Chain A
Amino acid sequence: MIVNAYAILSLFVCGLQCAVAVWLTGRWLNSRRAWSSGWTDDGAEVVERNAYLMMTLALVLLGLDLASWPLLYLLLQSYVPSWPGVMCIDGVTRIGTGSLGASRFLPGLLVTLQVFKPLVMLIGGAWLVIYLANRATSKAPLMRRLLWGLLLIGVTSLCDGVCTAGYLLIPKQEDHLAAGCCTQVTSTTTTRSSEPLLAGVSGTELTVVFMLLWAGLLFLLLDSIRKQRSGRKWMGGLLAITLVVAVLGGLFLVDVLSPALLQRPHHCPYDLVSELPESVIGIVLFMAGSFWVAAGAIASFCADVPETREILPGLQARVLFLGLFSYLGSFSLLSVQWCVL
C-alpha cells in the first residue's frame, strides 16, 4: 500500500461505506424476514421501524459514494510520482498489467470501480425519485419497491467499498517474468493513450453526430418538461437516447475534447484533472444530466401506480429539468473553455 493523505482518507471513507452498507443490508434482511412471514401487526411494525433507519442509512451511503468518486481520482493523481515512467492517471491505471503477483488485479479493480461508482449513483438517483413519489402518497404504495431498491444500493455500495479497499491494500509492486528468448518484458507504464478510441471515424464526424444527437435530446427534454410527457414509451425512448448520447459523449471526450482542450495529440482525459480542473465540472455536469434523465425515465417504470399517477408527471418534469440544466451547464462551460483556450 502506498501511504499518503489521500490513501488514508480513501481507506477511511471506504471503511465507513462498507460499515454502513453492511448495516443497511442487515436491517434489510431483518425486515425481509418480517414481511415474508406475512403482514402481521408485529411484522408491519418491524418493517416500519426499520424503514426510516434504512432510508437514512441509504442517504448517508449515497453521500459517501458520491464523496468517494472524486476521491478516487485524487488518489490516483497522488500516485503519479510513485513510478518513474508514469506521467498521469492513465499510467497509474496501467500499473499491474501483465504482472504475476497480486498487483495483476489492480487494473481490473480500477475498471470495476469506474463501473460501480456511476452505477450506484444511477440506482441512487432512481431510488430517490421513487422515494419522492412514494412520500407524496398517503398509503405508501411503493414501499416494497423502495425496500428492494435499498438492498440494491447496499449491495452495490458494499462491492464498491470492497473493491476500493482491495485496490488500496494490494501492494503496487509489479512482478514480471524475467526476459528470455520466449518472454518479453513489456513496459506498459511509459506509453500514453495516443490513439483515439474510434480509429475509423474522424473527429469532425464524431463531433457532428454527437452534437446533433445531444441537441435532439435537449429538445426532447424541453418538450417533456413543458408538456409533462411521462408515458412509458416516451420515457423509454428518452432513456435509450440518453444512453446513446452518454456513450458518444465518452468517445467525444477521449477522441476530440481532451486533445483540443489540452492542445496536444494525446487522447487522455485524465490530464484534465490536474491541468484544467474547471473542465472536470463540465464533465461531471454531463454525467449528472445523464443520471437525472435516466432516473426520471426509470421512475416511469418503477413508480407508476394508480396512487402516483397524479403527481408523477410533475415530479418527472422537475427531475428532467435538473437533467436539462445539467446538460446545458456542461455545454456552456465546455464550449466557453474551448473558445477561451
Chain B
Amino acid sequence: MVRPVNPPASWWRSGLAVLVVLGMLPVIGNIFRNDSSVSRCEWDGQVMRPEAAVTLELAGRSVTCCDVRCARNWLASHSERPTLIQVRDEHGGDPIDSADAFFVRSAVVTNRANGNRWHVFGDRETALRHARESRGRLMRGDEHPFAGVRGLE
C-alpha cells in the first residue's frame, strides 16, 4: 500500500520558496538601511556625533567610540592596546592626538545616555575657561582619561 504524501508536495515547494524569500530579507534590509550614512559607536551602538568621536588606532584596524567615556569603557573590557588615540576638539571638531589634548571633567553632561562629562579641548586656555565656568577640573597626569593605556606609554 502506498502511503499518501502528507503534507502534499505543494507545501514543500511553497516552503522552499518561503525559505528563499527569507534568506533575501537581510540583504534587502542591508541595502535599505544604508548604514554608511550613519556611523555608530562600537561600544554601545549609539549614533555618533562626529565632533565628539574618539578613534582608537589598533594593530590593523581602528575602533570608533562616541565619546571619551565609551572609549574608556571599550579599553577597560579589551586587552588590545591602541598605538594612537585620536580625539576631537569640542570647539571646531579638529582631530588631536590624545597626548596633546586637554581634558576637562565638568558638571556639563555631553551624552544623556552614558552620562559622559569628559570635555576635550585643543588649547589650554579654552579648557581652563570651560573648567571655571562649568565647575570642572583640568585632568592631567594620572587623571588623564587614557593614562593607564600601556600602548601609548
Contact = CB atoms under 8 A, between A and B. Distances in A.
Interface of A: 84-88, 190, 192, 194, 225, 228, 262-266, 271, 275-279, 281-282, 285, 313-314, 317-318, 321, 325, 328-329, 332-333, 336-337, 340-341
Contacts of B44: 87, 192, 264, 266
Contacts of A336: 23-27
A228 B4 CA distance: 10
A285 B27 contact: no
Given A84-B115, A87-B113, A87-B114, A321 B22 contact: no
Contact of A281 (B25, B30, B115): B25
Interface string B107-120: 00100111100000
A285 B22 contact: yes
Given A332-B19, A336-B26, A87 B7 contact: no
Contacts of A279: 26
A264 B15 CA distance: 34
B6 to A, nearest CB: 5
A208 to B, nearest CB: 23
B7 A317 contact: yes
Interface string B6-38: 110001000100111011111111100000000
21 contacts: A85-B113, A85-B114, A87-B44, A87-B46, A87-B114, A88-B45, A194-B77, A228-B6, A264-B43, A271-B45, A278-B29, A285-B22, A317-B7, A321-B7, A328-B19, A329-B18, A329-B22, A333-B23, A336-B27, A337-B26, A341-B30
Contacts of A276: 29
Chain B interface size range: 20 to 34
A265 B26 contact: no
Contacts of B18: 325, 329
B140 to A, nearest CB: 27
Contact of A84 (B6, B19, B113): B113
Contact of A318 (B7, B25, B27, B77): B7
Contacts of A281: 22, 25
A278 B24 CA distance: 10
B42 interface: yes
Given A87-B46, A277-B29, A329 B113 contact: no
A314 B27 contact: no
Nearest to A328: B19
B44 to A, nearest CB: 6
A89 to B, nearest CB: 13
A268 to B, nearest CB: 9
Contacts of A271: 45
A265 to B, nearest CB: 6
Contacts of A192: 44
B150 interface: no
Contacts of A329: 18-19, 22
Residue of B3, B22, B30 with most partner-chain A CB within 10 A:
B22
Contacts of A225: 7
A313 B19 CA distance: 25
Contacts of A87: 44-46, 113-114
A107 B25 CA distance: 34
A86 B46 CA distance: 11
A314 B43 CA distance: 51
B40 to A, nearest CB: 8
Contact of B19 (A262, A278, A325, A341): A325
Contacts of B28: 278
Nearest to A80: B113
A88 B40 CA distance: 14
Contacts of B19: 325, 328-329, 332
A-B interface, 6 closest residue pairs, ranked by CB to CB distance from nearest: A337-B26, A278-B29, A325-B15, A332-B23, A84-B112, A333-B22
A341 B6 CA distance: 38
A66 B36 CA distance: 35
Residue of A314, A332, A337, A341 with most partner-chain B CB within 10 A:
A332
A329 to B, nearest CB: 5
A333 B26 contact: yes
Contacts of B22: 281-282, 285, 329, 332-333
Nearest to A85: B115
Contact of B77 (A265, A317, A341): A265
A338 to B, nearest CB: 8
A74 to B, nearest CB: 18
A281 B11 CA distance: 21
Nearest to A227: B3
